[in-house]
Amino acid sequence: MKVVEKVKSLLHIMKVELNVFKILFEYRNGYYVAMCIFLLLIITFSIVLPKILILIMDTKQYHVLFGNSRFSDLLNYLGCIIGALVTTLGIILTLNHNQKNINEQIKQNSITIKEQGRLNVLPLLSLSNIMLKSPEGSIEMTEDFNIIEEPEKTFSFESLINVLAYDENKWVESPISEIIISFTENGIEMHSKLLEKHKKILKESSISIDNGSAMVMYNDIPVLYLPFYLTNLGVGAAINFNITILDNNSEERNLLSYMRQSFNLKVGQGFRLLFFAEKLDYVKYINLDFSYYDIYGKGYTQSHGFFYSEEKKYIIFDTNIHQESMCVFEDGFNYY
């Protein structure tokens, strides 16, 4: 009876370890822990089983059933069992490692394909200066507002208004032809065309030209008149394009103005972006944030700083492309 009780006690220990192994194996995070328990189980099995065999061999029932079989034969048999279990464990670990590598490779391939798909429809907005045409040739509006004391030529803006134009052959028809960003005494405004008060100021202004650069003067005071052209030079349409103007003078970057209605820009489409101010004192340090989406609903932003140095009388406008991805809402688009 003592032998039977000892055997039952040893078997109970192995049963507990088996239950622990089963619980851990059911959890993915406990896979490697389960493997350690499995190895511990094999070690325990290899230690416990010989003791069980020794206890059994000392009984009369063993001699009746097996006669004088040598203990070494049983140990050989036990070694075969342990070897098979270890081999099985090695196969399981190898298969699991290979499956993990395959899953990782599939994941990487999926990311690569997805990224390639994104690049194949990527919109990209580019800003460039507009060269204006005059009877004397092409001129460019200057960003240096130091008064030209002895200009090469001076024309009235009214006389040039019909010839100050961009090269229309390079433009692709777009939903909107121009956006005016106007610095006023009360803040910043955005319009889809020049207002009558703007036209009146320009009508009464003159243009001083020096070395191919031009400055608009109104009552002998420089007027901010800087035209740029914004084009979609990407390989995909820019969906729900919008402009947001933020104040860069404050840490909070307060919202100063934004477009009331967004629109789409196909590849090659663009519009004139004109900065206008009756007085340079109205010009603020701002950030123009362009937001748009590709055809799959992935959002992008481009940020462009605009700054007037009162000390140096010079406008600095960052036209470099700084494209960043942004969060996509549940519907895929962000509506203003």
Confidence of residue 144 (pLDDT cuts 50, 70, 90): confident
Indicate the domain borders of the chain: 2-119, 125-326
- Strands (DSSP E) found in the chain: 125-129, 131-134, 137-141, 153-156, 178-184, 187-191, 206-210, 213-218, 221-232, 238-247, 255-258, 263-265, 270-277, 286-293, 299-309, 314-317, 323-326
Find the mean pLDDT for residues 138-154: 80
Residue 268 token pair: 């090659």
Taking alpha carbons only, the member of 203, 202, 204, 206 closest to residue 217 is 206
**132, 165 contact by CB (below 8 A):** yes
DSSP state of 266: -
pLDDT per position as a tens digit, 190-239: 998 888 988 888 888 888 887 777 888 888 889 999 999 999 999 999 99
pLDDT per position as a tens digit, 66-101: 555 555 666 676 677 777 777 877 888 788 888 888
Q: What is the per-residue pLDDT for 333? A: 43
Q: Encode burial over 87-113: b for 16+ CB neighbours within 10 A, e otherwise.
A: eeeeeeeeeeeeeeeeeeeeeeeeeee
Determine how many CB atoms are found less than 10 A away from the CB of residue 315.
19
Average pLDDT, the chain: 77
Q: What is the per-residue pLDDT for 10? A: 52
Backbone angles phi, psi at 230, to 5 degrees: -105, 125
Q: What is the per-residue pLDDT for 53? A: 63
Cα separation of 276 and 248, whole Å?
18
Residue 181 reports pLDDT greater than 90: yes
Taking alpha carbons only, the member of 304, 274, 280 closest to residue 291 is 304
Confidence of residue 5 (pLDDT cuts 50, 70, 90): low
Question: 155-169, 180-194, 313-327 — which is least confidently predicted?
Answer: 155-169
DSSP state of 130: P
